Structure formats: C-alpha cells, structure tokens
Amino acid sequence: MKIRRSAMETIEAHGAEGYPDEICGIMLGTQAEHVVTEVHRARNIIVERSRDRYEIDPRDHIRIQREADSKGLDILGYYHSHPDHPAQASRFDTERAWAGYVYVIVSIAEGKPVDANAFVAEEDGGPFRSEPLEVS
C-alpha cells in the first residue's frame, strides 16, 4: 500500500486530536494507481467503548463515497487509531474487515502518533495479512 505523506500526516493528526478515543476515516485514491492520495475523517459512532472500538458512521460513509465518485476516486481502504496500544489488528478489527480493502492502524501513545501498520483481509471477516506500508 502506497500512501502520500500528506495523507499519512492527516491520519496521524486525526489520531492525536481524537486521543484518548479511537478515530476513523476513509482512504481514497484510484484503483489503477493504488496510492492513497486523500483521507476523509468519519465519525466513530461507538460511544461506550470508544477507547477500543470504532464504527464508521454510515452517513459519513455514503457522503465520502459520493465525494469520491464526483472526483473519479475510489475507496481504497479505511483507517483508525489504537490509543495506547500497538498498531496491530485486534480480533474485533479482523472480524469486521471487508476483503479487498486496506486497513491502516495508527498507534497513538499519550497523544502522539508512534507507529502505523497496514493490513488486508483475504475474505470478509479475515484473517488479516500484513501489507507493506510505503509513505511517499
């Protein structure tokens, strides 16, 4: 997975701003180039366990999909943060994954981004495999 530096910086800033709760969003680019060029914030609709769970607001998902369509972009994947936990996929993350999308997890420790990893599910619901993450 290739991601523009500006897009990665936006994800990290979103994670730091949302700390100590998990944040989430959608990554856009074109399938042909498979490079994330834009990221869009989405609301995490999980309230009671927002420190260790996320679910993208369906209204945000629809809005971002429409914006992507109008620009000729595709949804390439999703991102979220892990506050004070490693940038590794949890069982919850894996079970909710859709095949064919890249999932970027950024670890936020004490309000600062410290690590990021990418994952891809071979089938809906996992398992995940690690995906090289190239920031350029």
Per-residue pLDDT tens digits for 84-136: 999 999 999 999 999 999 999 999 999 999 999 999 999 999 999 999 999 99
* Full set of structural domains in the chain with CATH: 2-135 (3.40.140.10)
Residues with catalytic annotation? 22
Q: Cα–Cα distance between 127 and 4 in angstroms, integer?
A: 26
The pTM assigned to this predicted structure is 0.96
pLDDT at 47 over 90: no
Give me the mean pLDDT over the 20-49 stretch: 96
* CA angle in degrees (0–180, nearest 5) for 118-121-122: 135
